[in-house]
């Protein structure tokens, strides 16, 4: 299988490239600089340009593009960048996939499409779009795949949770705090913290690539939702550290602004119904297993 990947240099993209190549697949990477090897093709989403031949003979396109949600404090300019980096790239790739006749498009999205806080209500792929900036962003991001799906491309919308990985992401920010004995819940701790191990994030993408029945939205989330308090207790156990502290909600809002309310102090209690119904088996089905895998020494 030839798979073209946009966003291949990030945490998920790097692991996906390695996993596909281990399985014997041909991987081509879309890069925004001058191509430096035979597996690279230059593209510029802002100019809607892609090197000739980038998608020729491709069996699938995977789009993982998007500026980091927590990389900067949100203001009007950065929120527009969050939108442009996702929606513009998706517009270009969906059009290109449709034109080139690529059979499959897997496009990143986020589990916060269901809204910041669903309380104890469980949500799966049948739930509607929630409210808030992230929900609207994810809705418009997914809508940008329409040129591909309208052309008959099997389109998968990968609604990812927080990815738990050894090399970065949220754990990269939390581990130093736990090392100093400063770990603990965020806010009241009753909000849900959607999670998925890196192995299962990659596993879900590969599963979607290789199973023709998978299409539309799929929740890339662990099958056992936990609250933030439960998450932090499990992280403390994995790191062999106590987690006695509480970061008050007002302090988080002061520190990171709107992002705190949208993505830290609230979260949907999402479950992966579509993946499980399709036959996917999670490698790390519990938060304890996922955190152990992400923190153990190798």
Domain extents in the chain: 2-295
- Angstrom distance (rounded) from CA 238 to CA 242: 10
What's the CA angle centered on 184, arms 271 and 79, to 5 degrees?
Answer: 60
Q: How would residue 244 be classed by pLDDT, with cut points 50, 70 and 90?
A: confident
Query: Is the model's pLDDT at 54 over the cut of 90?
Result: yes
Residue carrying structure tokens 């798979």? 3
The confidence band for 32, taking pLDDT boundaries of 50, 70 and 90, is: very high
Share of the chain above pLDDT 90, in %: 80
SS3 state at 184: strand
- Residue (of 200, 208, 220, 197) closest to 273 by Cα position: 220
pLDDT of 8 over the 90 cut: yes
Can you give the length of the chain in residues?
Answer: 298
Average model confidence (pLDDT) across the chain: 93
Give DSSP secondary structure letters for 79-97.
Answer: HHHHHHHHHHHHHHHHHHH
- pLDDT score, position 182: 76
Give the E-state strand segments of the chain in sequence order. Answer: 2-6, 26-31, 40-44, 49-50, 60-63, 104-110, 122-123, 154-160, 162-164, 184-186, 195-197, 216-220, 245-247, 269-270
**Nearest Cα to Cα of residue 194 among 168, 173, 215, 222:** 222
- What separation in angstroms does the CA of 173 have from each of 64, 109, 116? 21, 22, 21
Is 239 within 8 Å of 56 (Cβ atoms)? no
DSSP string over 239-283:
HT----EEE-HHHHHHHHTHHIIIIIS---EE--HHHHHHT---S
Percent with pLDDT over 70 in the chain = 99
Model pLDDT, residue 176: 80
Task: Check pLDDT > 60 for residue 298.
Answer: no
Contact 289, 237 (CB under 8 A): no
Mean pLDDT of 158-168: 91
For the entire predicted model, the pTM comes to 0.95
pLDDT beyond 80 at 254: yes
Q: Are strands 26-31 and 40-44 parallel, antiparallel or unpaired?
A: parallel
Q: What's the count of helices (H) and strands (E) in the chain, helices before strands?
A: 11, 14
Q: Is the pLDDT of residue 16 over 60?
A: yes
Alpha carbons 222 and 211: distance in angstroms, whole number: 20
Handedness of CA 281, 225, 7, 158 (dihedral sign): positive
CATH number of 2-295: 3.40.50.720
| Cα gap 4→58, rounded to integer Å | 7
Arithmetic mean of pLDDT, 61-83? 94
Place of tokens 């945490």: 11
Mean pLDDT of 42-66: 95
Predicted local confidence at residue 173, as pLDDT: 77
More confident residue, 255 or 27: 27
Residue 297 reports pLDDT greater than 70: no
Q: What is the pLDDT of residue 180?
A: 76
Phi and psi at 246, nearest 5°, equal -130, 125
Residue 184 — pLDDT band, cuts 50, 70, 90?
confident
For residues 101-107, average pLDDT: 98
């Amino acid at each position: 299988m030839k798979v073209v990947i946009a966003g291949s240099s990030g945490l998920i993209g790097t692991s996906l490239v390695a996993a596909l190549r281990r399985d014997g697949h041909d991987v081509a990477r879309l890069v925004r600089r001058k191509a430096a090897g035979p597996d690279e093709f230059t593209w510029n989403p802002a100019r809607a340009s892609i090197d000739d031949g980038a998608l020729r003979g491709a069996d699938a396109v995977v789009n993982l593009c998007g500026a980091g949600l927590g990389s900067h404090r949100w203001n009007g300019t950065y929120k527009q960048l969050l939108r442009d980096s996702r929606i513009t790239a998706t517009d270009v790739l969906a059009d290109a996939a449709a034109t080139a006749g690529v059979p499959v498009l897997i496009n990143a999205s986020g589990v916060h499409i269901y809204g910041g806080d669903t309380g104890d209500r469980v949500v799966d792929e049948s739930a509607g779009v929630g409210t808030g900036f992230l929900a609207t962003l994810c809705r418009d991001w997914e809508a940008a795949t329409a040129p591909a799906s309208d052309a008959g491309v099997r389109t998968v919308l990968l609604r990812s949770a927080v990815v738990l990985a050894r090399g970065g992401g949220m754990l990269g920010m939390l581990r130093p705090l736990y090392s100093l004995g400063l770990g603990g819940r965020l806010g009241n701790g009753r909000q849900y913290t959607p999670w998925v191990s890196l192995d299962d994030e990659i596993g879900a993408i590969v599963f979607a690539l290789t199973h023709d029945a998978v299409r539309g939205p799929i929740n890339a989330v662990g099958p056992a939702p936990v609250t933030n308090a439960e998450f932090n207790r499990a992280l403390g156990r994995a790191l062999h550290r106590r987690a006695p502290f509480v970061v008050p909600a007002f302090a988080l809002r002061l520190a990171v602004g709107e992002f705190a309310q949208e993505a830290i102090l609230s979260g949907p209690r999402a479950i992966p119904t579509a993946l499980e119904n399709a036959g996917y088996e999670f490698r790390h089905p519990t938060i304890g297993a996922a955190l152990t895998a992400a923190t153990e020494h190798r």
